[in-house]
């Protein structure tokens, strides 16, 4: 579970950063008739998004998320800045309860 | 989601007819429709990129393969979701909506305190050495701290409009 969380987090941040470069650097340059950045970063984001999709999907299955949060998680990789917001939301709402839920029962036994 | 969720919960408690009947409920028909539209849309986009690639746009080759991949992924997502729903309704799997609601109602610290208390009670009953009073206070203080943190964080979450 922790490995799936880590993979998802890494991909959320990498995909998010690349998408921000695409939208806030690539697109303005493309408008200014320098499409090279948008083209290259666009393809990179496309590939990263596929990996993000797989990582987010595996984590969503592991957390047994319902349909709507899963879709929000998967689509976050296509909206600028959204991966960061959704990553925090998923952590607070779903990952932390599951991880503390796993950790709590063992705590009294250790003491 | 809330009203549909409670309707679903009612349906799980008193299932009317065969299990597969949930597939033809309005909510699920909506999902099926969304699925068909998105599959068709992504297929169309792939086809469009393919024609652009043939017309000499080298960049389009990447997207020519990407869109069908997304379309296939949508089908896998849809199929797995339906399979999970069957399992939930047959009682082979806990309902994620119920689990999420529980997590929302009980902050992690409070749930942990309840769990810890029941574990402790069980160990006392089993006579397996009860923890000292001081440790119990320490644990409840820590759980209260966790609950407070959780409440603060949730309050903060409202600023993002996600709750």
pLDDT tens, residue order, chain A (111 aa): 889 999 999 999 999 999 999 999 999 999 999 888 888 899 999 999 999 999 999 999 888 888 889 999 999 999 999 999 999 999 999 888 888 875 443 333 333
Q: Which residue of A has its CA nearest to B71?
A: A50
Nearest 5°: phi and psi at A60? -60, -40
Q: Which residues of A touch B (CB under 8 A)?
A: 39, 42-43, 46-47, 50, 53, 57, 61, 64-70, 74, 85, 88-89, 92-94, 96-97, 100-101, 104-105, 107-109, 111
Tokens found for residue A52: 């993000």
The pair of structure tokens assigned to B12 is 């799980």
Rounded Cα distance between A46 and B53, Å, is 16
Chain centre to alpha carbon of residue A70: 11
Q: What is the pLDDT of residues B56-110, one digit of tens each?
A: 888 888 899 999 999 999 999 999 989 988 888 888 877 777 766 665 665 555 5
Nearest CA in chain A to B132: A111
**Shortest CA distance to A86 belongs to which of A47, A61, A104, A59?**
A59
Structure tokens at A11: 């991909």
Cα dist. B10→A85, B22, B51, B53, B131 in Å? 33, 12, 50, 52, 42
CA distance A58 to B75: 16
CB within 8 Å: A108 and B120: yes
The confidence score (pLDDT) of residue B99 equals 65
> Taking all residues of chain B, what is their mean pLDDT, rounded to a whole number?
74
Between CA A100 and CA B116 the distance in angstroms is: 12
Tokens of A79: 């909206």
- pLDDT the model gives residue A104: 42
Which chain A residues are within 8 Å of B93, Cβ to Cβ? Answer: 64
In this complex, is the C-beta atom of B99 within 8 Å of any C-beta atom belonging to chain A?
yes
Comparing CB atoms, the residue among A50, A85, A101 nearest residue B69 is A50
Q: What percent of chain B has pLDDT over 90?
A: 29
Cα distances from A41 to residues A6, B46, B49, B111, in angstroms, run 24, 19, 17, 45
What pLDDT is stored for residue B21 in this prediction? 87
B1 interfacial to chain A (CB closer than 8 Å): yes
Q: Which long-range contacts (CB under 8 A, 24 or more apart) does B138-146 make?
A: B139/A107, B139/A108, B139/A111, B139/B113, B140/B113, B142/B109, B143/B109, B143/B110, B143/B112, B143/B113, B143/B116, B144/B109, B144/B113, B145/B109, B146/A100, B146/B107, B146/B108, B146/B109, B146/B112
Residue spans of alpha helices (H) in A1-111: 2-21, 27-31, 36-62, 67-75, 82-90, 96-103, 106-110
Report the complex ipTM: 0.77
């Amino acid at each position: 579970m922790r490995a799936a969380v880590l993979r998802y987090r890494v991909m959320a941040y990498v995909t998010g950063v690349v998408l921000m470069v695409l939208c806030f650097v690539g697109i303005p340059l493309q408008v200014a008739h320098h499409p090279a950045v948008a083209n290259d970063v666009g393809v990179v984001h496309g590939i990263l998004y596929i990996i993000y999709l797989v990582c987010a999907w595996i984590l969503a299955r592991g957390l047994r998320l319902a349909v709507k949060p899963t879709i929000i998680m998967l689509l976050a990789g296509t909206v600028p800045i959204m991966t960061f917001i959704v990553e925090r939301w998923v952590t607070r709402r779903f990952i932390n309860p599951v991880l503390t839920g796993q950790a709590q029962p063992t705590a009294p036994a250790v003491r | 989601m809330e009203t549909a969720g409670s309707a679903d919960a009612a349906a799980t408690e008193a299932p009317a007819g065969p299990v597969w009947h949930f597939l033809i409920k309005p909510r699920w028909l909506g999902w099926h429709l969304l699925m068909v539209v998105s599959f068709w849309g992504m297929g169309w986009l792939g086809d469009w990129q393919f024609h652009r690639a043939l017309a000499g746009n080298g960049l389009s080759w990447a997207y020519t393969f990407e869109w069908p991949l997304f379309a296939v992924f949508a089908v896998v997502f849809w199929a797995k979701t339906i399979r999970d729903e069957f399992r939930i309704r047959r009682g082979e799997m806990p309902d994620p909506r119920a689990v999420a609601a529980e997590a929302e109602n009980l902050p992690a610290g409070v749930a942990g305190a309840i769990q810890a208390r029941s574990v402790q009670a069980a160990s006392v009953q089993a006579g397996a050495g009860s923890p000292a009073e001081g440790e119990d206070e320490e644990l409840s203080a820590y759980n209260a701290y966790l609950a407070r943190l959780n409440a603060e964080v949730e309050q903060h979450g409202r600023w993002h409009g996600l709750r």
